[in-house]
Amino acid sequence: MLEAVNITASYGNAPVLHGLSASFPAGRLTALIGPNGCGKSTFLKTVMGFVPRSSGSITLDGVPVETMGRRSLARRVAYLPQDSTCPDYLALGELIELAGYARYSLLGGPTARDRQLFRDALEIVGLADLVHRPVSALSGGQRQRAWIAMVLAQDAELILMDEPVNHLDMKYQYAVLDLIRNLTTRHGKTIIAVLHDLNLTTAFADNVVMLRDGLVEAAGAVQDTMTRANVERVFDFKADIFSHQGRLVCLPFGSNHAAAAG
């Protein structure tokens, strides 16, 4: 389990997280949601140590993350930022090999186990037949799956994903999130993903943490936490939340409906 307690973090003199506390259970997909600028991406970067915190603690299975060291942390935590790039000449297989860097010895490269992890990761995302293709020649959906394969090949128990379906059309959004969901159900990974679409959140996440102004407004199982009152408080708009074919649907009110409901 990843646990954050009373986290305060800033960019220079601009505070973003204000005493944030949240727990993320193992083997579950937890969605971080909230309006732009509420601290979702900052929180993931703070976990990774990219943004310093001025107070609070972050622990993984009870161990403070700052005591682990960069290579040790990379063995346990994989991070997918919002935008990822690589040199145009790099082939897909070469990109995936970079995932094992934290496991390589000082003078050695990939082991037989590493290479099997690379093959398995590409099989899982459906790109095994494109291993020699330049990453720059992949489609947008294929590139996003390639980055997911890279974090999967890192073989970390915890995966942090910042907007993993950003810039993808609806078909690829569902395909990628279905893949991410399978990483928890079939492979036992713990995943924290920043999402913007509330209906994608209710369709794929187990848990949700709702942020506003650098604080947790609500957190828990999706079915219990994605309520009309919570959505209105966090996002400042009215919406109907109802169950359809076994999952929650968020339907924002139009301006006329909102006025009538108010």
Contact of 247 with 181, CB cutoff 8 Å: no
The CB density around residue 138, as the number of other CB atoms within 10 Å, is 17
Q: How far apart (Å, rounded) are the C-alpha atoms in residues 158 and 248? A: 26
Q: Which of 28-32, 107-111, 178-182, 205-209 has the lowest mean pLDDT?
A: 107-111
- Which pLDDT score is estimated for 262? 43
Percent of the residues in the chain that have a pLDDT greater than 70, as a whole number: 93
- Which pLDDT score is estimated for 108? 62
The CB density around residue 32, as the number of other CB atoms within 10 Å, is 28
Residue 257 has pLDDT above 60, yes or no: no
pLDDT band at 13 (very low <50, low <70, confident <90, very high): confident
Contact of 58 with 46, CB cutoff 8 Å: yes
- Which pLDDT score is estimated for 228? 93
pTM: 0.86
Q: Over the stretch 72-114, which tens digit does the pLDDT of each residue have?
A: 888 889 999 888 778 778 899 988 888 776 666 555 667 777 7
Residue 237 has pLDDT above 90, yes or no: no
Residue 256 has pLDDT above 50, yes or no: no
- Which pLDDT score is estimated for 55? 92
Residue 130 has pLDDT above 90, yes or no: yes
**Which domain covers residue 211, as residue numbers?**
2-261
Number of domains the chain is built from: 1
CATH of the domain at 206: 3.40.50.300
Q: Which of 56-70, 148-162, 166-180, 184-198 has the lowest mean pLDDT?
A: 166-180
* E-only strand ranges, the chain: 2-11, 14-24, 29-33, 53-60, 63-64, 77-80, 158-162, 190-194, 207-212, 215-221, 239-244, 247-252
In the beta sheet, which residues pair with residue 208? Answer: 31, 220
Contact of 250 with 231, CB cutoff 8 Å: yes
- Which pLDDT score is estimated for 259? 43
